[in-house]
Structure 1
Amino acid sequence: MLITNRAVILLVATLASLAPKHLLAQEPLLPAFSKMTSLTDGWEPLEFPDIETHSRYELMLENGIQVVQANTSGGASGLITRLDVRPENSPILSWRWKVSNVFEKGNARTKPGDDYPARIYIAFEFEPDKAGFFERAKRKTVALLFGAELPGNALNYIWANTLPEGEFIPNPYTDKTMMIAVNSGNGKAGEWVSIERDIVADYRQAFGESPPPIRGIAIMSDSDNTGEEATAWYGDITLTRASPN
């Protein structure tokens, strides 16, 4: 079969529908975990047809603030919210997260090590005019097999296991996804860490050009490759315009 590896299945599952849900200048882009009454309030499960064991997500209170707790033990799944956001004025992605530990066998440079206690996945619109014949044919095959459309490039902000903080590398399954280590190692495990990223700047560094529209944002804690265990906590994720210079 043409579509076999986990990275492509991830892309398929990420955008099962391209229907826009939010616009940048109107309501808040991402449903706030702190205000949700259930995990289906603007987010939905991100599951993979070849992975039977799923990570577990639940709302819980941490110091009086509602967050999402993720537990992974040899499985993989996530939560996703779909978007249609044109990245003008350099939208800033901000969030806070915490992990119990990183994985001893984790390694962002290898397929067997491609697991993270916490990650945030940004999917961008596919640009057919920049794709070759094989890429376009692959996407038609996906539509026939799965009734879904693949997004284009993607950024993965990861709490890395050993990859140095600040490093950008291609995902071991596909160079369409770039991994960005925003935290690394166990040094801050058990602590809340706040992150802020300029998505346009990161996309340009990763792919050498300006990004197309953002089509989805997901959180995921996964350990299906390493078989290890970890717990992560995700606070609210926000997407706002950068302040004018």
Structure 2
Amino acid sequence: MLGWIILLFSLITCFNAKSSTNLTSLNNNGIALWEAKVFSGKSIYTINQHQGRLALQALSQSSASGLVLENKIDLTITPYINWSWLVEKTLHGLNERSKSGDDFVARIYVVIDGGFMVWKTKSLNYVWSSNQDKGLVWDNPFAGSSVKMMSVQGKQSQTGKWYEEKRNVYQDLIDTFGDQGSEEANLKAYNYIDIIAIMTDTDNSGKKAESYYGDIVFSTK
């Protein structure tokens, strides 16, 4: 009987281990596995306590750099991305749909890497928009339709307040890049993401931004 109990416990533990994946693990400095990617000037990312919780602080001054993790995620197993974020000040007066205004106080994005077939590379950006309404989707002004911007938080969102987010990445990819006509075709197109990134950027506007991110976790539900 004891053997069966141990086996059952092992199976439950194994299932629970696969039911969610914490990609940042701020308590254990898992963010150290993420690589810095500099586009224009270096934003500063550090782990700090903020409003009683451990967070990744992002400071940007006319800069655009992010933290990138190459990690293949099977969206049939863990389709949901969960995170929390807070911004201290938004970037007023920007047209974020234009090249000169393509700055965001906070963004988390996922990438399907097309490899040598670069035209198959797709990126979905979950952004905190300073000037757009919440719930909008538009093409990135630099990359066009291969990069979609989704305003998870918008101009009505409060500064200095933590927001908890959960998105079904698989469904969002279908909704933003297009339904392929069948479940089989959708799985072929959107089954996996290859890269996850965090970025606070103000290089186009030349402004300052201070934002905070909680752990990024993929889960089954």
Which of 125, 150, 166 is the equivalent residue of 1:156?
A: 125
Partners of 1:207 and 1:87 in 2: CA distance: 16
Cα deviation code 1:53-72 (max 9, x no counterpart):
21111111124432110011
Map 1:1-245 onto structure 2 (within 5 A).
25=18, 28-36=21-29, 39-40=31-32, 42-48=33-39, 51=40, 53-89=41-77, 91-126=79-114, 136=117, 139=118, 152-174=121-143, 175-185=145-155, 187-209=157-179, 210=186, 211-242=190-221
Q: List 4+ stretches of structure 1 deviating above 4 A.
A: none
Distance in 2 between residues matched to 1:71 and 1:173, nearest whole Å: 23
- Inter-partner Cα distance in structure 2 for 1:90 and 1:226: 36
1:123–1:214 contact (8 Å) kept in structure 2 = yes
Cα 1:237–1:55 change in 2 (3 A) is same
DSSP 3-state at the match of 1:25 = helix
Distance of 1:63 and 1:189 partners within structure 2: 13
TM-score normalised to structure 1 length: 0.73
CA RMSD of aligned residues (A): 2.2
User: Equivalents in 2 of 1:29, 1:235: separation in Å?
Assistant: 11
Q: Which residue identity is paired with 2:46?
A: E
3-state SS of paired residue (1:67): strand
Of structures 1 and 2, the larger Rg is shown by 2
Amino acid at match of 1:195: E
Paired residues of 1:90 and 1:199 also in contact (CA < 8 A): no
Instruction: Report if the CA contact (8 A) 2:20-2:219 is conserved.
Output: no
- 1:34/1:66 contact within 8 Å kept: yes
Normalized per residue, the structure richer in helix is 2
Paired AA for residue 231 in structure 1:
E
2:79·2:219 contact (CA, 8 Å) conserved in 1? yes
Determine what percentage of the aligned residue pairs are the same residue. Answer: 29
CA contact (8 A) 2:64 2:201 kept: yes
> Would you say the 8 A contact 2:20–2:217 is kept in 1?
no
Structure 2 CA distance for aligned equivalents of residues 29 and 100 of structure 1: 25
Number of the residue aligned with 1:3: none
Give a deviation string over 1:76-120, Cα, whole Å, max 9, x none: 101111111221156111100000121123222111000000000
What amino acid maps onto 1:203 in structure 2? L
Q: Which runs of 5+ in 2 are unaligned?
A: 1-16, 180-185
Counterpart contact for 1:162–1:185, Cα < 8 Å? yes
Q: Report how many residues are paired.
A: 195
TM-score, length-scaled by structure 2? 0.81
Q: Is the 8 A contact 2:19 2:78 kept in 1?
A: no
Q: Matches of 1:28 and 1:202 in 2, distance apart?
A: 19
Tell me if structure 2 keeps the 8 A contact 1:116–1:221.
yes
